[in-house]
Amino acid sequence: MGATAKRVHITTFGCQMNEYDSGRLAGLLAELGYERAEAPQEADLILVNTCSVRQRAEHKVYSLVGALKELKQRRPGLIIGVGGCVAQQEGQKLLDQIPHLDLVFGTGALERLPELLEEAGRGHRRALVDLPAAPARQPLRAPARAGLKALVTVMEGCDNFCSYCVVPHVRGRERSRPAAEVIAEAAGLTQAGAREITLLGQNVNSYRDPGEGLDFPGLLKRLCGLPQLTRLTFTTSHPKDLSFRLMEALAGLDKVMKKLHLPAQSGSDRVLKAMGRGYTRRQYLDKVEGLRRLVPGVALGGDIIVGFPGESEEDFEQSLELLELAGYDFLYSFKYSDRPFTRASRLSGKLSEEVKAQRLARLHARQNQLVLELHRSLAGQVVQVLVEGPAKKGAGLLTGRCQAGRAVNFPGPPELAGGLARVRIEEGLVNSLRGRLLPA
Ligand code: SF4
């Protein structure tokens, strides 16, 4: 009988890029013979893939890893590792502060995990946090079976250095993957069953193939040639770099979903300037108007930070007003928090937690009203839904996403899962739409 396989448990915090990286880690470890453990208690290796974009996420990491101390005391052979943005930011400090931690790997050192594991096995604790000049990623070996939706990173890092953001410091400067690698990875995933692919990058608009110079709209066009791919989408676009060519691609390529995440961060010119975003409110809204003209029915997503240092009530009201003017379908909103290395952390005029919390609550309330109106206005439209399977709530209901990425629930037979369905929208709710299945 062969030896029992080792088992790994991975906890992921943060954005889709971290989810993607955790997928890579799982793939890498599978090649070393690791199987997945459902709970940390069952694992021989526990990895925490971290996020440092918000202070709260960072705190969660410390408390989670701290809580593993007891497990390590009971089972000294257990290996505990921290990867991702907090690892990149803190490096050796994490090993110094957490004696039961065995290894730390930064955002650029993911592929070197096997080396760290081997050292940890010999009792050497080490932190690897070099940032490579080029993404070290090779196309993922395609899994035997992929889910309906899959993620593929096209570029990493960011050159924008917005004054509040830690990303350029923990993910490094912009590095694009060769188009051929991206296409090979996406092709492998579609052959394994994926039908919808989300391309990831901190600013996909800056994508440039390092060899032939292909730009992002060009990459989208090539990916649309994959025969088994039904839908393609991407995130995130920096508003200052959103080009007419990309809007045209969104309008003209049938497989590209009609949705765009275009983070504004604030509706006030004064705050936008202090954030170093590189556009004014007017310029942002001009791009939104241009997009809506070219891509009717497009679903727009935004990000708003409330309580940036020095944000006045009037600045905040301009952000509230922006929600209405932009007409967001989905909104990610956050309270400002100081992040290490950033210019904003050194600014005066910090707001109290209470003011930030109140502003965030007002922002949510307004957005909920607006999105409800928007969703109600969609009643009567016929949409094409990529069916994901049974809805979590509501017996006999299926759930899926329309071409604009809105969640649609409707009664239908489970065999429709994985395929496209025509659905008439009957009711708009805050977080989803209800519909009725139409004949194909
Ligand atoms: S564009 Fe600005 S907010 Fe976005 S990742 Fe880059 S520095 Fe951060």
All domains of the chain in start order, with CATH = 7-128 (3.40.50.12160), 147-257 (3.30.750.210), 260-377 (3.30.750.200), 382-437 (2.40.50)
Residue type at 368 in one-letter notation:
N
Q: Which pTM value belongs to this model? A: 0.91
Q: pLDDT tier at 131 (50, 70, 90 boundaries)?
A: confident
Q: Can you give the pLDDT at residue 134? A: 62
User: Taking Cα atoms as reference points, which of 217, 211, 207 lies closest to residue 154?
Assistant: 207
- Tell me how far the alpha carbon of residue 276 lies from the centroid of ligand 1, in angstroms: 10
Residues 346-365 have pLDDT tens digits of 999 999 999 999 999 999 99
Tokens of 281: 């409110």
Name the burial class of residue 103, with classes exposed (0-12), middle (13-18) and buried (19+) by CB atoms within 10 angstroms of its CB: buried
Nearest-atom index, ligand 1, CA of 166: 8
- Tell me how far the alpha carbon of residue 224 lies from the centroid of ligand 1, in angstroms: 27
Please indicate whether residue 1 or residue 330 has the higher confidence score (pLDDT): 330
Evaluate if residue 144 carries a pLDDT over 90. Answer: no
In the chain, DSSP finds a helix count (H) and a strand count (E) of 14, 19
Peptide bond into 153 cis (omega under 30): no
Residues 72-123 have pLDDT tens digits of 999 989 999 999 999 999 999 999 999 999 999 998 888 889 999 999 999 8
Residue nearest to atom 4 of ligand 1 (CA): 202
Mutate to test the pocket of ligand 1, among 15, 161, 162 (most ligand atoms within 8 A of CB): 162
Mutate to test the pocket of ligand 1, among 238, 341, 342 (most ligand atoms within 8 A of CB): 238
Average pLDDT, stretch 219-223? 98
Residue type at 177 in one-letter notation:
R
In 207-284 the beta strands, taken as DSSP E runs, fall at 231-235, 259-261
- Tell me how far the alpha carbon of residue 300 lies from the centroid of ligand 1, in angstroms: 18
Please indicate whether residue 109 or residue 138 has the higher confidence score (pLDDT): 109
* Phi and psi angles of residue 390, each rounded to the nearest 5 degrees, phi first: -65, 140
d(CA 134, CA 152): 16
Evaluate if residue 135 carries a pLDDT over 60. Answer: no
Instruction: Name residues whose C-beta falls within 8 Å of residue 87's C-beta, 6 or more positions apart in sequence.
Output: 50, 94, 104, 105, 106, 107, 127, 129
d(CA 149, CA 387): 11
Question: What DSSP designation does 265 have?
Answer: B
Mutate to test the pocket of ligand 1, among 167, 266, 272 (most ligand atoms within 8 A of CB): 167
- Tell me how far the alpha carbon of residue 192 lies from the centroid of ligand 1, in angstroms: 33
- Tell me how far the alpha carbon of residue 59 lies from the centroid of ligand 1, in angstroms: 21
Residue nearest to atom 8 of ligand 1 (CA): 165
Residue nearest to atom 1 of ligand 1 (CA): 160
Q: Can you give the pLDDT at residue 60? A: 87
Average pLDDT, stretch 247-260? 97
Contact 343, 315 (CB under 8 A): no
d(CA 417, CA 398): 8
- Tell me how far the alpha carbon of residue 236 lies from the centroid of ligand 1, in angstroms: 10
Q: Can you give the pLDDT at residue 2? A: 47
d(CA 127, CA 191): 37
Average pLDDT, stretch 57-63? 85
| Per-residue CA distances from 196 to 143, 188, 315, 361 (Å) | 15, 13, 39, 33
Q: Can you give the pLDDT at residue 132? A: 66
- Pocket lining for ligand 1, CB < 6 angstroms: 158, 160-162, 165, 167-168, 202-203, 238
Query: Angle of helix 216-223 relative to helix 244-252, nearest 10 degrees?
Result: 10
Strand-pairing partners, residue 232, are: 197, 256
